[in-house]
Amino acid sequence: MIKRYIKLWWRFTLGTSQIALQSRFGASLFLLGKILRFVFFLGFLIVLVGKTKAIAGYSIWQIVFFYATFNFLDTMPQFFFRNVYRFRQQVMNGYFDNLLTKPLPALFHPLFGGSDMLDLIILVISIFFIVFSGMRIEHVTILDVFAYLLLLVNSFLIALAFHIFVLGFGILTTAVDNLIMLYRDLTQMGRLPVEIYQEPLRGLITFVVPVGIMMTFPAKALMGLVSLQGVCLALGVGIGLVLLSLKFWQYALKQYGSASS
């Protein structure tokens, strides 16, 4: 069953990649823009830390690690859940009606209906800087690495939950584009440790809108700055949000009539 879903995802991805690469010049410019944005902000951080010696008490390599982890967690959902950005049009033109007649879970195609292969280069760059900067952080134990990887998976679950919520709202209101852009704007606050923000904003983006748990907890776990209780809290938030998002999706699906209604 899993192999079948992987094959379907791969076919969807090949189809969307062919469309994206119809204009190779445009795709090249888009990819170049992604790389330049990554490099320019990384250069800004290096210059900033070089002048101030530290940001919120973190060294240069720790800041680079935060930023590389953020980019990995920001790009992975975009890579896998790119079809969420197309969902509004699929509801409006009736394509979603056709999907509901297929022998597939109703949530599969809206989430995994075609990945953006252009994001792969950013994933590779992010992984390189994660490893490169992580090896320069002192006093990292095997347990810290395990906690980091575990919280990376948990962050992906939180991103999954956000995208399922967006799909549910897309059925109820067709307001997908604004919500997904709001999600993107909020996650941008996690490019740096949440300690740079003052209260109550710090608590708001950590616990109410769990950007801090999603984007900064994994990096802090590798540095040994997250307690066992903090790891359990993060896992509880991730699993809880996924369960809530699935319930919301089922509710939204029951309210759906059709494109013509």
The torsion angle over the Cα atoms of residues 17, 96, 89 and 38, rounded to 10 degrees, is: -40
Closest to 13 measured CA to CA, from 108, 112, 84, 111? 112
Higher pLDDT, 96 or 260: 96
pTM of the model: 0.89
What number of other Cβ atoms are within 10 A of residue 254's Cβ?
8
For residue 3 the two structure tokens come to 């192999």
Averaged pLDDT, 40-58: 78
Q: Average pLDDT, whole number, for the chain?
A: 86
DSSP secondary structure string for all residues of 130-141: HHHHHTTSSS--
- pLDDT band per the 50, 70, 90 thresholds, residue 174: confident
Question: Which tens digits make up the pLDDT trace of 199-211?
Answer: 787 888 877 788 8
The torsion angle over the Cα atoms of residues 80, 181, 96 and 17, rounded to 10 degrees, is: -40
Residues 6+ apart with CB under 8 A from 147: 221, 222, 226, 231
- Percent helix, strand and coil across the chain, each to the nearest 5: 80, 0, 20
- pLDDT band per the 50, 70, 90 thresholds, residue 34: confident
Can you give the pLDDT at residue 261?
Answer: 52
